[in-house]
Amino acid sequence: MARIVMKFGGTSVADIARIRNVARHVKREVDAGHEVAVVVSAMAGKTNELVGWTREASPMHDAREYDAVVASGEQVTAGLLAITLQNMGVHARSWQGWQIPIKTDNAHGAARILDIDGAFLIKRFGEGQVAVIAGFQGIGPDNRISTLGRGGSDTSAVAIAAAVKADRCDIYTDVDGVYTTDPRIEPKARRLAKISFEEMLEMASLGAKVLQVRSVELAMVHRVRTFVRSSFDDPDAPGMGDLLNPPGTLICDEEEIVEQQVVTGIAYAKDEAQISLRRVGDRPGVAAGIFGPLAEANINVDMIVQNISEDGKYTDMTFTVPSGDVDKALAVLERLKASIGYDVVQSEAGMSKVSVIGIGMRSHAGVAATAFKALADKSINIRAITTSEIKISILIDGPYTELAVRTLHSVYGLDKQ
């Protein structure tokens, strides 16, 4: 017998027929004798509808009331799944985040989980009950419903798995695992059997939409073995009930991966913009004077490149931001012009960031050189480069994104079985 947390996303519970299919997945694990808790998202499209209603009611709405409205989508799904399970003979009961309770901070709309007391759910396990929990939500210090931001149900599931010391956390979605790159761009992309927490964190933060970044962080900190699985697989197909290695991709400790490839995957993020400040006075504190105000304006700065002039008096500062934040960033920089002392600010949208990821980079030389040569052979110009121990990110012109992804996927042999 094992303790399993199962999470189902919006497309998996989009209508009653799909909720019945989800219930079959849950019943399979219950019939196998496992202790099961389920975390659900709102039905596909419902959260967008609720967000639209709040904006229609008032463009400048209260964040606490926003949370009260948008959290209702998951409540509906939890109740419907519990009813469906009961109809199948499974002892199930729905619970909202505040009833567990999932305690969060006070940042309504983008709250972070502070604590979950697993005793409530462990008691449910002892009673033979399947707890169906509304994901994406908790309760803040002000005793009001809080929500965790888009993709927050993933975070709910991993946090609950950590709190109850689950043997594994299964994230069911509309794909059957984590791939070496986006199969829509590269048909030869392969599903990975295993990927390390560190690699998945890089993939999630660099454009892969399979899991929310915060959920991967939690899984890594608490060492929660996490499987990415497809809810559209036949619940009764052979191997679906395999306790140790069900179909999908296992996100786990690096030590569990016996054969480590140099490169695990290629991620990409479109709609990046490049901003350059020319002839900035090179003096202590100038970088803090630029990036501090941008951070205070909630502008996410990513790649940063600094070039010092030959005489050492000036520097050119180039960095990237999401395209949607360009106007806001330029407004901040305009206010800072007198204090920073730059000559001119230039911006260019339509950039893309393509990243090569792999824990094998730690022990292999020449990974970056391979990428640069492969892109050069395709006449793809590199605008900026950043690296970490297990990642190389390259900024290129947007129209070359798909070509760059396919080129890098091939040059590292990821298209070979």
* Residue spans per domain, the chain: 3-255, 265-411
Q: For tokens 């219930």, what's the residue?
A: 23
Nearest Cα to Cα of residue 77 among 121, 37, 39: 39
Q: Do residues 261 and 358 touch, judged by C-beta distance below 8 A?
A: yes
What CATH code would you report for 265-411? 3.30.2130.10
pLDDT (0 to 100) of residue 417 = 58
SS3 letters across the chain:
CCEEEEEECHHHHCCHHHHHHHHHHHHHHHHCCCEEEEEECCCCCHHHHHHHHHHHHCCCCCHHHHHHHHCHHHHHHHHHHHHHHHHCCCCEEEECHHHCCEEECCCCCCCCEEEECCHHHHHHHHCCCEEEEECCEEECCCCCEEECCCCHHHHHHHHHHHHCCCCEEEEEECCCCCECCCCCCCCCCCECCEEEHHHHHHHHHCCCCCCCHHHHHHHHHHCCCEEEEECCCCCCCCCCCCCCCCCCEEEECHHHCCCCCCCCEEEEEEEEEEEEEEEEECCCCHHHHHHHHHHHCCCCCCCEEEEECCCCCEEEEEEEEEHHHHHHHHHHHHHHHHHHCCCEEEEEEEEEEEEEECHHHHHCCCHHHHHHHHHHHCCCCCCEEEEECCEEEEEEEHHHHHHHHHHHHHHCCCCCC
Q: Are 197 and 224 in contact (CB under 8 A)?
A: no
Cα separations (Å) of 274 from 27, 327, 334, 400?
A: 50, 12, 16, 16
**CA angle in degrees (0–180, nearest 5) for 53-58-63:** 85
Contact 73, 40 (CB under 8 A): no
Reported pTM: 0.86
Structure tokens at 310: 């030959």
Per-residue pLDDT tens, the chain, 417 aa: give them.
899 999 999 999 999 999 999 999 999 999 999 999 999 999 999 999 999 999 999 988 999 999 999 999 999 999 999 999 999 999 999 999 999 999 999 999 999 999 999 999 999 999 999 999 999 999 999 999 999 988 899 999 999 999 999 999 999 998 899 999 999 899 999 999 999 999 999 888 776 678 888 999 999 999 999 999 999 999 988 888 888 788 999 999 988 887 678 899 999 989 899 999 998 887 888 888 999 999 998 898 988 888 876 667 788 889 999 998 999 999 999 998 888 888 889 999 999 999 999 998 887 888 999 999 999 999 999 998 988 889 999 999 999 999 999 999 999 999 875
The whole-angstrom distance between residue 56's C-alpha and the CA centroid of its chain comes to 28
Residue 392 CB contacts under 8 Å (≥ 6 apart), including other chains? 355, 356, 361, 367, 368, 371, 385, 386
Asked if the domains 3-255 and 265-411 are classified in one and the same CATH topology, the answer is no
**For residue 407, which amino acid is it?**
T
Q: Are 392 and 205 in contact (CB under 8 A)?
A: no
Residue 153 has φ and ψ, to the nearest 5°, of: -65, -30
Yes or no: say if 77 and 19 are a contact pair by the CB < 8 Å rule: yes
Architecture per CATH, 3-255:
3-Layer(aba) Sandwich (3.40)
CA 5 → CA 29, 121, 357, distances in Å?
10, 11, 28
Report the alpha-carbon distance of residue 207 to residue 186 in Å, rounded.
Answer: 15
Tokens of 190: 């392969």
The predicted pLDDT at position 208 comes to 67
Query: For position 207, what pLDDT does the model report?
Result: 64
